[in-house]
Amino acid sequence: MADLHAELVGKLGLRIVRGDYPPGSRINVDALEPEFGVSKTAIREALRVIREKGLIDSWPKRGTIVTNRDSWKLLDGDVIMWRREAHRDDDRLLAELSQLRDVIEPATARMAAQFRDAADIEALRSSFAEFEAAGQDVDRLAAADRDFHLRLLQATHNELMMRLDVVVVHAVDARNRIQHHPGAGWLDPVPDHRRVLEAVEAGNPAAAEAAMRYAIRESDVDLRSGEPPFDPDGTN
């Protein structure tokens, strides 16, 4: 049941973001039941989730209406994923993810160096060891890269900063899909990440910020070069 619910949410959300239902248009909810072969309750629950993301609204007598883009929760993880999958405005999305990453990640490294504790250092060392061991294994490298950057966010001990993980995850994943794929050649990312780790371990905020800024120096160029066809399951 949970898988069916997630599938319905995903299909309907993607349709809206892709523009199948333009802003201001009415969604024929009654037609969705026979189309998907599910109950009204299942459709209603899926639309409730999509409404919480700001993509639709409902009014008596007017029905379910697609909202204008300025009402969408653009930092919602599903909305970002649907935008990447839809390829309607992926150039803009990737550029904006890159710009946000340029702001967030150096500040994250600085704060991690200031506020990390022994458990954070241990977690970062573990993530880095996996990153270092990944070598040319694309899937392992991407997972370790994501984990390292998330551990840095956690090391800030700032709840609001940690909520920006959705930006970091999508930016890191998109960049890895562009740069790190089977048969491609890429610069060894281990030394750059080691410098970040060492600065955080040393409790040196300025060095950590500078190391992270250097580590992501190519991110803007990579993200603006465009993604391969998007695979939300990460299997390609």
Q: What is the mean pLDDT of residues 55-79?
A: 92
Torsion of CA 219, 223, 229, 235, to 10 degrees: 20
Tokens found for residue 140: 């392992």
DSSP the chain: -HHHHHHHHHHHHHHHHHTSS-TTPEE-HHHHHHHHT--HHHHHHHHHHHHHTTSEEEETTTEEEEPPGGGS-TTSHHHHHHHHHHTSSHHHHHHHHHHHHHHHHHHHHHHHHHH--HHHHHHHHHHHHHHHHHTT-HHHHHHHHHHHHHHHHHHTT-HHHHTTHHHHHHHHHHHHHHH--TT------HHHHHHHHHHHHTT-HHHHHHHHHHHTTTHHHHHHT-PSSP-TT---
**Largest pairwise CA distance in the chain:** 63
135 falls in which pLDDT band (50, 70, 90)?
A: confident
Tokens found for residue 104: 């967030």
223 falls in which pLDDT band (50, 70, 90)?
A: low
Model pLDDT, residue 106: 96
Better-predicted residue by pLDDT, 25 or 189: 25
Q: Of 12-21, 57-66, 81-90, where does mean pLDDT reach its minimum?
A: 81-90
In angstroms, the CA 69 to CA 65 distance is: 12
Phi, psi of 54 (to 5 degrees): 85, 5
Model pLDDT, residue 85: 86
236 falls in which pLDDT band (50, 70, 90)?
A: very low
Look at residue 229 and tell me whether its pLDDT is greater than 90. no
Quote the distance between the C-alpha of residue 102 and its chain's center: 15
Tallying the residues shown for the chain, one arrives at: 236
DSSP 60-99: TTTEEEEPPGGGS-TTSHHHHHHHHHHTSSHHHHHHHHHH
